[in-house]
């Protein structure tokens, strides 16, 4: 056997899983099609991630957080508003006494920290610049086939290969897939005034417009735009783009300057019928891709990672084969409800807010104001988003595997 676990995809979910397993004494191999240097290049991934409290504990438990802390901006408050309406919802982390509500971190910084952590994990092997093209199951192993002809034999193959997961398709696992008629335009802006750690989400008719606080008087924009209009916006010259941006952003942070490239991401919903098959498990976007409206995509992926790592390690500590369905079913049972719920909530929010219909606007604004006025309801919503409710896996409680 070449490793206990082979992981297809060395992204934020796949590599975190590899580090978690390797640190717990499980030999793992991560295969990623992009060369390591390309994955941390400026143009590779311009997004930021909102790291919820539960995810932060996972990253701390696998020794990643200390490498990231300096590049993480705490979210002190969240302000949700509907277009120009005066009714809004304001979450204040400090008032709740629970510390920051989360952190905004550049994906590029997470990738750098992951690569450094991976290099210090002797039981983790990373094969970059290579692709898993298929697999064959034997009685007690699975062999992953690589594009360079190598075959890797393992107990379990994890598909963390993204929302279009080729391995999900190869395993014959069907998925509900729907395209949102929206594109996520992502860019970074520097502003004259400090953001004071306030994350803002504005519901504009085309979709949510999020302003996420970054380190050093910068903010990341997630600007959801109609898919048919996005290409024209992206093609604008710097001055016209800045003007369009400022129109939506407002002037509360002073003068704005776009730094770095603009990125565009088509928004898709994916829900796999099953998360597991014999000797195969899906994790992260391969199992569920959701609308970025609530900034929960990576958080769900990290929760998958925490539960899957725990499932594998617990099985091996009982002498059980971690690739068997009796073991893997436990992972699916623990993750499916949470992921599906978040998918439904984000999908509903997006449908509710991405329009300009009078009665719907009135209802949703009253809803926002109502939630704002009922502290227990507000706390419940927040704890869910922070990932600190329910039967948590050990890594999400900040404990070792």
- Per CB under 8 A, residues contacting other proteins are 25, 139-140, 315-321, 324-326
Q: Output 68 or 277, the one with its CB closest to other proteins.
A: 277
* Pick 48 or 309: Cβ nearer other proteins: 309
Q: How far apart are CA 212 and CA 73, in angstroms?
A: 9
Residue 333 C-beta: closest distance to other proteins, Å = 8
CA–CA distances in Å: residue 304 to residues 32, 212, 307: 19, 24, 5
CA angle 241, 244, 248 (to 5 degrees): 135
Least distance between other proteins and beta carbon 340 (Å): 18
Q: Is 366 in contact with 359 (CB distance < 8 Å)?
A: no
In whole angstroms, how close is the CB of 383 to other proteins at the nearest point?
A: 24
Nearest to other proteins of 152, 315 (CB atom): 315
Question: In angstroms, what is the minimal distance from the CB of 18 to other proteins?
Answer: 17
Closest CB 367 distance from other proteins, rounded Å = 33
Minimum distance from CB of 149 to other proteins (Å)? 24
For other proteins, the closer CB: 8 or 316? 316
Q: How many Cβ atoms from other residues are within 10 Å of residue 275's Cβ?
A: 26
**Range list of β-strands (E), 273-363:** 276-277, 280-282, 288-289
Report the C-alpha gap between 103 and 76 in whole angstroms: 9
Nearer to other proteins, 324 or 355 (CB): 324
CA distance 345 to 339: 10
Smallest distance, other proteins to C-beta of residue 139, A:
5
* Three-class DSSP category at 151: strand
Strand 256-272 relative to strand 218-226, pairing? unpaired
Structure tokens at 130: 């290579």
- With b for 16 or more beta-carbon neighbours within 10 A and e for fewer, the 333-354 pattern comes to ebbbebbeebbebbbebbebbb
Q: Which is nearer to other proteins, 149 or 319 (CB)?
A: 319
- Tokens of residue 281, six digits: 């498990």
- Terminal alpha carbon distance of the chain: 23
**Closer to other proteins by Cβ: residue 206 or 328:** 328
State the minimum distance, in angstroms, from the CB of residue 278 to other proteins: 9
Q: Are 305 and 295 in contact (CB under 8 A)?
A: no
Minimum gap (Å) between residue 39 Cβ and other proteins: 31
Whose Cβ is closer to other proteins: residue 321's or residue 372's? 321
Q: How far apart are CA 147 and CA 161, in angstroms?
A: 15
**Contact predicate 298/12, CB 8 Å:** yes
Q: Which is nearer to other proteins, 195 or 394 (CB)?
A: 394
């Amino acid at each position: 056997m070449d490793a206990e676990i082979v992981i297809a995809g060395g992204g934020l979910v796949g590599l975190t899983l590899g580090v978690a397993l390797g640190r717990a004494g499980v030999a793992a191999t991560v295969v990623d099609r992009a060369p390591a240097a390309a994955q941390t290049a400026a143009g590779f991934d311009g997004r930021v991630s909102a790291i919820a409290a539960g995810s932060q504990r996972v990253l701390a438990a696998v020794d990643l957080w200390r490498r990231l802390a300096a590049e993480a901006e705490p979210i002190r408050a969240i302000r949700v508003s509907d277009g120009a309406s005066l009714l809004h919802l304001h979450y204040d982390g400090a008032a709740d006494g629970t510390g920051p509500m989360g952190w905004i971190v550049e994906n590029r910084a997470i990738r750098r920290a992951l690569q450094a952590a991976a290099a210090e994990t002797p039981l983790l092997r990373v094969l970059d610049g290579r692709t898993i093209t298929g697999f064959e199951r034997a009685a007690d192993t699975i062999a992953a086939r690589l594009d360079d002809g190598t075959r890797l034999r393992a107990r379990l193959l994890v598909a963390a290969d993204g929302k279009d997961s080729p391995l999900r398709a190869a395993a014959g696992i069907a998925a509900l897939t729907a395209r949102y008629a929206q594109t996520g335009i992502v860019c970074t802006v520097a502003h004259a005034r400090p953001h004071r750690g306030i994350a803002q989400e504005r519901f504009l008719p085309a979709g949510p417009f999020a302003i996420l606080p970054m380190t050093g008087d910068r903010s990341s924009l997630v600007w959801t735009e109609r898919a048919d209009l996005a290409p024209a916006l992206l093609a604008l010259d710097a001055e016209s783009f800045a003007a369009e941006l400022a129109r939506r952003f407002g002037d509360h942070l002073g003068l704005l300057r776009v730094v770095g490239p603009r990125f565009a991401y088509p928004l898709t919903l994916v829900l796999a019928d099953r998360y597991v098959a014999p000797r195969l498990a899906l994790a992260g976007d391969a199992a569920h891709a959701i609308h970025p409206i609530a900034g929960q995509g990576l958080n769900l992926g990290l929760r998958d990672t925490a539960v899957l790592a725990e499932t594998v390690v617990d099985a091996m500590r009982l002498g059980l084969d971690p690739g068997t369905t009796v073991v893997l079913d436990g992972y699916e049972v623990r993750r499916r409800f949470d992921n599906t719920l978040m998918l439904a909530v984000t999908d509903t929010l997006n449908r509710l807010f991405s329009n300009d219909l009078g009665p719907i606007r009135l209802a949703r604004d009253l809803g926002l104001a109502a939630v704002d006025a009922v502290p227990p309801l507000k706390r419940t919503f927040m704890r869910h988003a922070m990932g600190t409710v329910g039967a948590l896996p050990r890594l999400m409680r900040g404990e070792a595997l």
